[in-house]
Structure 1
Amino acid sequence: MRPSHFFSTLINNHNFNLFLRLSNSKSIFLLNYLIDSMNKKLLILSLGLTILAASCSKDNTKKEPVITKLTDLVIPAGFTWQSTRDVNFNISITDTRFQNKSHIVAIYLADPATNPIAIAKGSATYADPFIATLSIPSTINEAYVVKTSPDGSSVMEKLTLTSTKVSAALSSVNKYNNLSLLTADKSLMSTEVEPECGIKTSASTIKLNTSTDVYCFTSTVDLTINVEANNGGTLKINAPGKTITFGDNFNHTGIKVFISKETTVKFNRDLNIKSGEIFSNSGKLLAGNLSSNGSLINNGEATFSGSNFNLNSGSELTNRSAMVIQAQNPGINGVITNTGNITFNSATFNSGSKLDNYCSFTVNNVLTVNTSTFNNYKLVLVKGDTYVNSGGTINLIDGAMHQTLNMSNMNGVVYGRGPAVSLFKTTGTVGDNVVNNSGYFKGALQYCGTRDLEVNQNNKKHFSDGAIKGCGAYIVKDDCNTIGNGVAPVELKPDTDGDGIIDEEDDYPNDKTKAFNNFSVNYHNGGSTIAFEDSWPLLGDYDLNDVVLTYKHLVVTNAKNVAVRIEGKWNLIASGASYKNGAGVQFPLPKGMATNFKASDGVSPEDGQDSLVVILFNNARDQQVLWNTMPNQSLSPIKTFTFSFDLTNGPNFPALGVSAFNPFIFNGTKDAIRGYETHLYGKNPTKLVNKSLFGTSADNSLKGAYYSTKSKLPWGIEIPVATFRYPYEKIGILDSYLKFSNWATSGGSLYTDWYSNTGSDFRDVTKLFPTVGAGN
């Protein structure tokens, strides 16, 4: 109840009975005093109004607090007091094997291998992506997307959530396929951690004095630089849109160089990388010759146009993007790891060298494999000759493909490893030295050639351990292997209800009107917490325990990603106020769209609304005798409110999403008091709000966001856990959660775990009410 507004109503409307029914004893006392003093001066009446406005709803003596610390916070523009953010996922399909049949896309917030619970699922085809806007806790910075095809095969991609819009294109196999085989590991998908800047410079002459020096070079013009780093150190180059040229004076030992995105770096001299040195390129690298004993990493574009390209013993070349080497006879004695597209003019793998190819490896002329480790997980394309000399082995791993124009000599082995059959294919000539020499094909492999090879031709063993002649092996065509081979298998998994979603991925396999479950934040661990102050439009005490609720929502969609049903479960955890507070939730749906509404006792759609508004309860004091906010006091049980309804001509899932939607509290007394609605920061009121209250007292809705103060404070917040420990009665949030102010003043960028971190520097547990529970 808000006495100042009640008294105004009383004076204007003479509604004495309503006032007497609602007011506390202090208000009644003041009313009697004012009635007895009606002939006194207007100044006395104004004084009485001021005293009444300052009275507190929670007891007869408490006054509205002046929260100096909280109101002194400088809140940055655009901050919405959310511990979550809405992320739009756009997941397209590049797998053409099944024409227009539906694939299933599932989104996880943890590795499905350890936590196989998807927060969202839907269908996608080659023509239509799966799009979803999901509420993601700010503490989570990555997601996993799994695509399951109609044949039951699946691929996964890990996405970094660096913005509110993320996208991925999923083919028929993982881009980094079979990372557990042979010597591959998960580090292939990670990038190097760059040290923080120590010294910033734009000078053309740079001298690094010690191994711990970190120089960050920036420039707004094209520039030639001379660098000295004889004692090591790190040089980071960031000049977007500009070309930075290393001059003739580049003296270094133990240096680490990082080239930023959109920055072009040229070397006038040969690029020599010494042992222990690192050159990491995320922009565009242009060089002539290369001699490397260290580590060269390419995450952008790199071109080496010289006649010499030498990867010496102990060197490492990692290519994750696009690289071209134009040397005629490069010397490869080190290790190459390729997860992007790399093109050699010619390539000779000498003794001790190694290749791990996970994407596209192209040789324009001659590929020679000597005594080396040559692992191909995806595609090797040779536009000239392939030589496999004595002691050399080409490993084709789990559905890999090696295509060559000619094959002139084979004294080594081509070995198909893994359960899926790989393919070795020649499109030109097969020389006599292949037929007559002792080389052979082995394992899970098909040889597809222009010249027939028999098992014991000329007393030579050409096939061993399951390798056969044939050209029918199905090799997937995708972003890495743009050639592919064969025809996709047509065997599909069962779909009992015929909705186009295979049973094993259909959450409702016997109901063609439903297909997928989509869950609100933290659904399977109790859901999220909504904590309200009930003083709007007055400024509250910000103990955030006047009404404490937990919720979880389930949105059911059909095979076309249309929402067909919503289920909700809300729990009243605490009710730390004497107001007759009610609670409801508004959905962004026309009221008439909801059908077959079912709910627990007392829960119902609200009359007089144009949108769907579900009222959970009208008076928290009828639900809980005790407040659950006082120390050393017995607890009132958690009260649970459930509802469900079907949707007729419902919206597409991307338009609806799944979240708290628009929860609010209100004064549960009838008549004018229903108009006192309190929503989360920036959320719209319902049709039944008393609009005349906007812009009064502490409310700044007419000039700023809805339900915000002039200093951008909210009257409610959402916390993405169900076990939020709210403060004891009369204890402010700043006094109990010690990083709350840092989080708020940073616009939510710092201390995103302010509510969940249990460290003593994050919370004062003596001021926090023990966890009541989530009401699961």
Structure 2
Amino acid sequence: MNQTKKILSSLLLALGVTFFSYCSSSSDPNYAWLMSLASGSTAVTAPTGTTDFGVDINDETTPVDFVFDTTRTITVNIQVLDPVAPVDGSMVQVTVPSATPGAANNKSVFKAYSNTSGEVTGSFTIDGDTNTVHLQVEAYGKFYDADINIVSVTSISRRISISFTANVTQIVDSDGDGVPDSEDLYPLDPSRASTIRIPAEDYYTISFEDLFPKQGDADFNDYVVRSYFEEDLNAAGEVARIRGYFTHVAKGAGYNHTLHFGIPGASVTSYSLIHIGFDGTTVEENLSGVGPTMTDLQVLGNSSTTIPSSNASRSNTTFVKGKTAKLEVILASPISKLILGSAPYDTYLSVINTGKDIHAAGKYFDANGKDIYRDATGFPWYLLVPGNFQWPYEATDIRKSYTQFQPWYQSLGTVDTDWFRNPITSEVFPSTP
């Protein structure tokens, strides 16, 4: 409503009168006329005067615990101010360069619009070897752009002061969420404005060792799944819906398993789950359910039925994809990404033979504060890797397949951050995208 008052005041000032002297109540026909300008075809502002941006940079480099992460989550805190007041509805977007050869556009990893205090908060997740992101802030149709080296940055925190004010123009905002229809991916749904894909390109490969709590052979091919996610965000950058895609791609183990999914920090209204057969198109099962929580949803069934080949043997190197699950979750109310956490959220493996669950490191701790899912040497049973990770052959230690892996984790992730892109090809299964 503050933005509406600013808009109405701007209109009235342009007419040489004040808001309170011109229309004193909502029953005044002049008030109704002005309100009609602020809905449907919503009144917004355009710049006048010089278009300079002043920026106070308070980016942070707070150390984070190393838990064998191959991705990094960075928080965002931006405030936009004009000479009169905070700027409500200013677009803030973070993008990364496309890794696809010949691709012209950057990929968005964060997008939100400032609130009545001119503030945007949230987070985004990128590959661990990404060195630069691009920040763009829009104010009254003008743009502040900056490339940011994020090698050691954990929080992008900036106050952006603009030297110009605005005149009134007209745009269409059909759902009244403050986002123009021309920028709104869901122009008739006020709970959603944009969609972020995670990762921005390709997918994650999640590789498990299944002997927990015993140490495994570190080949990380006992159960392998490819996954990617989409988050539907509202104008504030909060998550309203989540979609997840999971394809079983390797089973180099004698044990059988089921794959599960949880979002412990969110309340759920409903979900839908579709299972796709080996051909990648045939729907085998279409399930649905309701909340209020989701902590242990089984997304793929017994691994003896979800993949036709181990995809881990040196004697059979023909890669064959397994079955796919497609999940959509509608949240009871939009939730901040800082509370929700980053994809793949709590995607975990349940081992049928042992009755044990295997989660990512850094999520669950015992009464003494020890990470449950790291062994006595600090090693995990779970690895998440961006893109087409080529897992080791059966019984081949990952340290032999990826010579940069050991220096990477011994340095706590400070060197060889691209280790997963450089396999010894004779020691890994030749999986294809």
- What TM-score comes out, normalization by structure 2 length? 0.75
Report Cα offsets for 1:368-399 as digits up to 9, x if no partner: xxxxxxxxxxxxxxxxxxxxxxxxxxxxxxxx
Matched, 1:715 2:381: yes
Q: Which amino acid aligns with 1:651?
A: I
Kindly tell me: are residues 102 and 119 of structure 1, through their superposed partners in 2, closer, same or farther at Cα, counting changes over 3 Å?
same
Kindly tell me: are residues 128 and 603 of structure 1, through their superposed partners in 2, closer, same or farther at Cα, counting changes over 3 Å?
farther
Q: Which amino acid aligns with 1:664?
A: Y
- How far did residue 725 of structure 1 move? 0.8
Matched, 1:594 2:269: yes
User: Which of 340, 357, 362 is the matching residue for 1:677?
Assistant: 357
- Partner residue of 1:399? none
Matched, 1:706 2:378: no
- Partner residue of 2:96? 109
- Partner residue of 2:398? 733
- How far did residue 110 of structure 1 move? 2.8
- Partner residue of 2:137? 147
Q: Which amino acid aligns with 2:358?
A: T
Q: Which amino acid aligns with 1:121?
A: K
- How far did residue 603 of structure 1 move? 7.8
Contact 1:725 1:769 in 2 (8 A): yes
Contact 2:312 2:429 in 1 (8 A): yes
Q: Which amino acid aligns with 1:704?
A: K
Matched, 1:131 2:121: yes
Matched, 1:84 2:71: yes
Larger deviation, residues 504-513 vs 741-750: 504-513
User: Which of 461, 470, 493 is the matching residue for 2:171?
Assistant: 493
3-state SS of 2:225 partner: strand
- Alpha-carbon distance in 1 for matches of 2:240, 2:257: 32
Q: Which amino acid aligns with 2:362?
A: G
The equivalences for 1:749-768 within 5 A come to 749-757=414-422, 763-768=423-428
Matched, 1:660 2:344: yes
- Alpha-carbon distance in 1 for matches of 2:67, 2:82: 40
The equivalences for 1:515-530 within 5 A come to 515-521=193-199, 523=200, 525-530=201-206
3-state SS of 2:105 partner: coil
- Alpha-carbon distance in 2 for matches of 1:607, 1:580: 28
The equivalences for 1:172-251 within 5 A come to 172=162
Q: Which amino acid aligns with 1:157?
A: A
- How far did residue 631 of structure 1 move? 2.2
- Alpha-carbon distance in 2 for matches of 1:127, 1:609: 32
Contact 2:205 2:386 in 1 (8 A): yes
3-state SS of 1:743 partner: helix
- Alpha-carbon distance in 2 for matches of 1:609, 1:512: 22
Q: Which amino acid aligns with 2:105?
A: N
3-state SS of 2:186 partner: coil
Kindly tell me: are residues 637 and 718 of structure 1, through their superposed partners in 2, closer, same or farther at Cα, counting changes over 3 Å?
closer
Contact 2:306 2:323 in 1 (8 A): yes
- Alpha-carbon distance in 1 for matches of 2:132, 2:232: 24
Q: Which amino acid aligns with 2:424?
A: D
Contact 2:258 2:301 in 1 (8 A): yes
3-state SS of 2:304 partner: helix
3-state SS of 2:394 partner: coil
Structure 2 unaligned runs (5+)? Answer: 1-63, 276-283
Q: Which amino acid aligns with 2:430?
A: P
Q: Superposition RMSD on alpha carbons, in Å?
A: 2.9
- Partner residue of 1:580? 256
- How far did residue 756 of structure 1 move? 1.0
Q: Which amino acid aligns with 2:145?
A: M
Matched, 1:770 2:426: no
Q: Which amino acid aligns with 2:360?
A: L
Matched, 1:549 2:233: no
Matched, 1:648 2:323: no
- Partner residue of 1:236? none
User: Which of 179, 182, 187 is the matching residue for 1:509?
Assistant: 187
Contact 2:115 2:236 in 1 (8 A): no
- How far did residue 630 of structure 1 move? 0.9
Matched, 1:612 2:295: yes
Report Cα offsets for 1:95-133 as digits up to 9, x if no partner: 357865311111112399943321111111461421122
- How far did residue 755 of structure 1 move? 0.8
User: Which of 121, 132, 136 is the matching residue for 2:111?
Assistant: 121
3-state SS of 1:654 partner: helix
Q: Which amino acid aligns with 1:665?
A: L
Matched, 1:533 2:199: no
Kindly tell me: are residues 747 and 596 of structure 1, through their superposed partners in 2, closer, same or farther at Cα, counting changes over 3 Å?
closer
- Alpha-carbon distance in 1 for matches of 2:268, 2:225: 26
Kindly tell me: are residues 494 and 96 of structure 1, through their superposed partners in 2, closer, same or farther at Cα, counting changes over 3 Å?
farther
- Partner residue of 2:19? none
Contact 2:269 2:290 in 1 (8 A): no
- Partner residue of 2:240? 564
Contact 1:544 1:733 in 2 (8 A): yes
Contact 1:580 1:618 in 2 (8 A): no
Q: Which amino acid aligns with 1:514?
A: R
- Partner residue of 1:425? none
The equivalences for 1:408-427 within 5 A come to none
- How far did residue 506 of structure 1 move? 1.4
Kindly tell me: are residues 602 and 706 of structure 1, through their superposed partners in 2, closer, same or farther at Cα, counting changes over 3 Å?
farther
Contact 2:249 2:307 in 1 (8 A): no
Contact 1:604 1:616 in 2 (8 A): no
Structure 1 unaligned runs (5+)? Answer: 1-76, 173-475, 478-486, 686-693, 695-700, 758-762
Contact 1:91 1:167 in 2 (8 A): yes
Q: Which amino acid aligns with 1:494?
A: V
- How far did residue 638 of structure 1 move? 3.2
Contact 2:225 2:247 in 1 (8 A): yes
Report Cα offsets for 1:664-699 as digits up to 9, x if no partner: 111236xxx5x41011112239xxxxxxxx8xxxxx
Report Cα offsets for 1:54-85 as digits up to 9, x if no partner: xxxxxxxxxxxxxxxxxxxxxxx943111122
- Alpha-carbon distance in 2 for matches of 1:772, 1:111: 20
3-state SS of 1:504 partner: coil
Kindly tell me: are residues 603 and 131 of structure 1, through their superposed partners in 2, closer, same or farther at Cα, counting changes over 3 Å?
farther
Kindly tell me: are residues 562 and 738 of structure 1, through their superposed partners in 2, closer, same or farther at Cα, counting changes over 3 Å?
closer
Q: Which amino acid aligns with 1:650?
A: P
Report Cα offsets for 1:148-176 as digits up to 9, x if no partner: 23x4433212223232122122344xxxx
Kindly tell me: are residues 135 and 117 of structure 1, through their superposed partners in 2, closer, same or farther at Cα, counting changes over 3 Å?
closer
- Alpha-carbon distance in 2 for matches of 1:510, 1:597: 22
Contact 2:269 2:330 in 1 (8 A): yes
- How far did residue 548 of structure 1 move? 0.9
3-state SS of 1:505 partner: coil
Which protein has greater RCO, CA pairs closer than 8 Å, 6+ apart? 2
- How far did residue 724 of structure 1 move? 0.6
Kindly tell me: are residues 647 and 123 of structure 1, through their superposed partners in 2, closer, same or farther at Cα, counting changes over 3 Å?
same
- How far did residue 595 of structure 1 move? 1.6
- Alpha-carbon distance in 2 for matches of 1:514, 1:606: 21
Contact 1:90 1:129 in 2 (8 A): yes
Larger radius of gyration between Structure 1 and Structure 2: 1
- Alpha-carbon distance in 1 for matches of 2:400, 2:98: 36
The equivalences for 1:44-443 within 5 A come to 78-95=65-82, 101-110=88-97, 114-125=104-115, 127-149=117-139, 151-161=140-150, 162-172=152-162
- How far did residue 489 of structure 1 move? 2.4
- How far did residue 552 of structure 1 move? 1.1
- Corresponding residue pairs, total: 357
Q: Which amino acid aligns with 2:313?
A: M
Kindly tell me: are residues 660 and 167 of structure 1, through their superposed partners in 2, closer, same or farther at Cα, counting changes over 3 Å?
same
- Partner residue of 1:744? 409
